[in-house]
Amino acid sequence: MNLKMLEEVSSVRAISSRERHMVEYLKQKLTNYKIDGLHCVIAWPEQEDANLPKLMFCTHQDEVGFIVEEICGRFLRLHPFGSIWPHLVVGDLCTLETSDGRVLTGVISSPSSHAMPEADKKYTVKPDCIYLDLGIDADDVTKLGIKIGDMCCPKADYMPLANPKYVLNKAFDDRSGCYVGLEVLGQKLPHENNLYWAFSSQEEPGLRGARTVTDMVRPDLAFALDATLAGDTLFDDNGVTLGGGVILCCIDSNTLPNRSLLKWVEGLCKKHNIKYQYSVFNRGGTDSGNIHKSLGGIVNMSLGIPARYMHCNHSVVNTDDLAACIELCSWIIKEFKANTLEEILKL
């Protein structure tokens, strides 16, 4: 695996509806692609064969973050894009990018515990009270070109942890999935299908790009691939573990997978000795939530990559899980052929 590429793709700054840097990064990595009106990038077959079925994978480019909502003297009030718990971001670093391309680093302002009444320590900052401190004076705002609507991204440094299989950075939701896609596409696998890999936009605020890419591709079979909350910490308990393998998603708040498809994917994991595990959630969701409801209904399910501490500056994934996900996606591509969907639906 090319872990330098994992570092690169997870370090790109790109929140929902401001995916420009990810689009440019993907254009450098892909040889043939289409871009839709929402800036989704779709790796497209160089020659489509009308006699072969269409297989689509979907991973989202966007990360959670903020835009500048209000300029308050020397501080900037931020508006969250995506589900962000303020408790996880106060005191963390963020980068603000101005409309003319300047990149400024600041810290999310927080109350000082030294001056805080004991009763207030039980509460966290309200979502509408998140402020960025760039270390500026009020008159610097105009000089630096800071405007309402400017993008603000979590800032982190990619690093392996004590066990180097565990790696840390921002935005593994869902740049880990984008990384898997780039690794799989780079193998140039032999396949008997029309293969599309969609890097969707605006997943965090409502799975928006998933609808447009599905409309463009019109797949016969589709998989969403996304980071999935790991439950192996002292604060989360859901059965999903780092190092437990690729996740087969049985339910989330938006999607019930096609049962026959789930059985087929289980069979591939067993046949090729791919380590896998299950997720059973009643919250959260993936691009599958819009994929399966598109057109006349798409045979679809979600695959997951376990991740700790999602939607904050520092998330953690395990490279063994990435390898298992790459292997499973590769076998899906190699084994999905002209009559496979009909066989799957008989299971």
3-63+170-345 folds as: Aminopeptidase (3.40.630)
**Strand 299-307 versus strand 246-251 pairing type:** antiparallel
Task: Quickly count: other Cβ atoms within 10 Å of residue 247's Cβ.
Answer: 27
Range list for CATH 3.40.630.10 in the chain: 3-63+170-345
Reported pTM = 0.95
* Residues 92-116 pLDDT 10s: 999 999 999 999 999 999 877 777 7
Is 60 known as a binding-site position?
Answer: yes
Range list for CATH 2.40.30.40 in the chain: 65-154
CA 173, CA 23: separation in Å to the nearest integer?
16
CA-CA-CA-CA torsion for 86, 88, 91, 92, nearest 10 degrees? -110
Residue 92 CA to its chain's centroid (Å):
20
CA 319, CA 346: separation in Å to the nearest integer?
35
Q: Which of the four pLDDT bands, split at 50, 70 and 90, describes residue 127?
A: confident
Q: Which of the four pLDDT bands, split at 50, 70 and 90, describes residue 252?
A: confident
CA 178, CA 11: separation in Å to the nearest integer?
12
Phi, psi values for residue 140, rounded to 5°:
-75, -20
Contacts of 119 (CB under 8 A, 6+ apart): none
Q: 């395990």: which residue's tokens?
A: 318
Is 204 known as a binding-site position?
Answer: yes
pLDDT of residue 25: 98
Mean pLDDT of the chain: 94
Is 226 known as a binding-site position?
Answer: yes
Across residues 252-275, what is the average pLDDT? 94
Structure tokens at 113: 């515990």
**Strand 194-200 versus strand 54-60 pairing type:** parallel
DSSP 308: B
* Residues 139-185 pLDDT 10s: 999 999 999 999 999 999 999 999 999 999 999 999 999 999 999 99
Q: Which residues are catalytic?
A: 203
CATH number for the domain running over 65-154: 2.40.30.40
| 179 closest CA partner among 52, 1, 6 | 6
pLDDT of residue 253: 81
DSSP letters spanning 187-234: T----SSEEEEEEES--TTTSHHHHHHHHHH--SEEEEEEEEE---SS
Across residues 235-260, what is the average pLDDT? 92
CA 274, CA 309: separation in Å to the nearest integer?
25
